[in-house]
């Protein structure tokens, strides 16, 4: 019985040894698989690290290139801004020069009324040369050069050029006024450019311009209603040859078949138009104008000298007499005085004649 139990126990341990050997083999195989996977993961990790390093190096390179590009772009932008600023400054200077020249060339004046004088009778052989459908006129505008005198200044014009030349060579002139010394500084006169031009007007006897007519209807109907309104003799109109209307400006012009209608309507200045509602249109003459023979003049008066630093020792009239007496004396390098104007307060304009020799205060 004991032998049998021992054999059974031996068989049991043999089975357990076999089972343990099998488990050992399994574990050895799993270990080998894990080591293979570990080597594989290590290779993949090394590869990923290499790729990441390459990506990092590429990113760093691109960052450096981008910074270089940004730096170059900033330099170009700075250069462009400087060029734009220089051009803006130059444009500002040119604009100021343009405004100054434009202001100098502007002439604003009221044209005085003139009586029309009958000159001659048109001969029949010359009748074809004249256009009886227009009234033509011509105006010559001449701007006198002027100089604005400030306080303590005087303009003096001598009869001879050489006297003014000698005075201008002096640094100053010592004038005694009631035992008081006054050093007057002679300066040459520089005049701003002046202009002279002609304006040729041609006023139509058959056309008028009208305005203040808003488009209350569509364009074609509006034009028909306007032509119908201007055709009524009872309102002062007449037979219409042509009518133009611009709805954006609420204005247009009318050409009548006969003369006389346009002239009478221009005298009225208003005309009632019926376009579904009554509108008082503003009537104006139809004219063309042309600028011709535009000329500019500039220069330095040869016989005129500007006197500065004049003290207000006397009233203007007495001081002017003292100055004239002083500059008439040959001992003071003077000569005969043609004209003189002194102002203590300023704001006096002196106008020069066409030869720019003699000022007219």
**Cα 135 from Cα 113, distance rounded (Å):** 16
Mean pLDDT over each residue of the chain, to the nearest integer: 82
User: What per-residue confidence (pLDDT) applies to 357?
Assistant: 46
How far apart (Å, rounded) are the C-alpha atoms in residues 317 and 340?
11
Cα distances (Å, whole numbers) of residue 122 to 49, 116, 118, 126, 137: 111, 16, 11, 6, 17
Cα 352 to Cα 142, 157, 297, 308, distances in angstroms: 12, 11, 12, 19
Q: Look up tokens 């080591």; give the residue.
A: 35
Q: Calculate the alpha carbon distances from 271 to 95, 183, 204, 268, 275 in Å.
A: 44, 69, 18, 7, 13
What is the rounded average pLDDT of the residues 226-238? 88
Q: In this predicted structure, what is the pLDDT of residue 14?
A: 80
Mean pLDDT throughout 227-236?
88
Pseudo-torsion of CA 17, 21, 27, 32, nearest 10°?
A: 160
Tell me which residue of 222, 211, 212, 305 sits closest to 252, measured CA to CA.
211
Confidence of residue 282 (pLDDT cuts 50, 70, 90): very high
> For 60-91, how does the pLDDT look when each residue is reduced to its tens digit (9 = 90+)?
888 888 888 888 888 888 889 999 999 999 99
Of 318, 307, 343, 310, give the one whose Cα is nearest residue 156.
Answer: 307
- Statement: residue 131 has pLDDT above 60: no
DSSP 205-236: EEEEEEE-----S-HHHHHHHHHHHHT-GGGT
Question: CATH for 197-295, among 3.40.190.80, 3.30.70.330, 3.30.70.980, 3.20.20.70?
Answer: 3.30.70.330
Name the band, by pLDDT with cuts 50, 70 and 90, for residue 210: very high
Average of per-residue pLDDT across 235-246: 89
Band of residue 19 on the pLDDT scale cut at 50, 70, 90: confident
Which range in 14-23, 135-144, 168-177 is most confidently predicted, on average pLDDT? 168-177
Instruction: Find the mean pLDDT for residues 285-314.
Output: 83
- Judge whether residue 356 has pLDDT over 50: no
For residue 359, pLDDT beyond 80: no
Checking if the pLDDT of 243 tops 70, the result is yes
Residue 180 pLDDT > 50 = yes
**pLDDT tens-digit series, residues 308-345:** 888 888 888 888 888 888 888 888 888 888 888 888 88
pLDDT of residue 122: 54
Reading the block at residue 260, the tokens are 């006389």
Walk across the sheet containing 346-352 and list its strands. Answer: 146-150, 346-352, 359-360
Q: Mean pLDDT lowest for which of 18-22, 105-109, 131-135? A: 105-109
Q: How many other CB atoms are found less than 10 A from the CB of residue 229? A: 23
Give pLDDT tens digits for 105-120.
565 555 566 665 655 5
Given a cut of 60, whether residue 190 has pLDDT beyond it is yes
Q: Is it the case that residue 2 has pLDDT exceeding 60?
A: yes
């Amino acid at each position: 019985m004991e032998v049998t139990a021992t054999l059974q126990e031996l068989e049991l341990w043999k089975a357990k040894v076999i089972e343990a050997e099998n488990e050992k083999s399994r574990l050895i195989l799993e270990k080998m698989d894990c080591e293979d996977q570990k080597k594989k993961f290590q290779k993949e990790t090394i590869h990923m690290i290499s790729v990441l390093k390459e990506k990092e190096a590429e990113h760093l390179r691109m960052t450096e290139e981008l910074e270089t590009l940004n730096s170059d772009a900033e330099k170009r932008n700075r250069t462009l801004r400087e060029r734009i600023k220089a051009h803006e400054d130059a444009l500002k200077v040119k604009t100021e020069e343009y405004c100054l020249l434009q202001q100098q060339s502007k002439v604003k004046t009221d044209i005085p009324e003139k009586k029309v004088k009958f000159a001659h009778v048109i001969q029949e052989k010359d009748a074809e040369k004249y256009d009886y459908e227009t009234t033509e006129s011509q105006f010559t505008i001449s701007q006198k050069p002027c100089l604005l005198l400030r306080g303590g200044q005087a303009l003096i014009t001598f009869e001879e050029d050489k006297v003014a030349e000698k005075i201008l060579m002096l640094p100053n002139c010592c004038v005694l006024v009631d035992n008081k010394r006054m050093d007057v500084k002679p300066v040459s006169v520089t005049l701003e450019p002046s202009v002279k031009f002609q304006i040729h007007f041609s006023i139509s006897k058959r056309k008028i311009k009208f305005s203040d007519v808003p488009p209350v209807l569509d364009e074609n109907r509006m034009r028909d209603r306007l032509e119908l309104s201007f055709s009524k003799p009872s309102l002062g109109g007449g037979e219409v040859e042509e009518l133009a209307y611009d709805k954006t400006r609420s204005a247009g012009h009318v050409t009548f078949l006969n003369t006389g209608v346009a002239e009478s309507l221009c005298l009225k200045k208003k005309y009632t138009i019926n376009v579904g509602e009554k509108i008082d249109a503003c009537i104006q003459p139809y004219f063309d104008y042309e600028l011709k023979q535009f000329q500019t003049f500039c220069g330095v008066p040869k016989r005129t000298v500007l006197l500065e630093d004049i003290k207000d020792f006397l009233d203007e009239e007495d001081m002017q007499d003292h100055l004239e007496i002083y500059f008439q004396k040959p001992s003071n390098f003077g000569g005969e005085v043609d004209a003189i104007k002194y102002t203590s307060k300023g704001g006096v304009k002196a106008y020069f004649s066409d030869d720019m020799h003699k000022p007219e205060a």
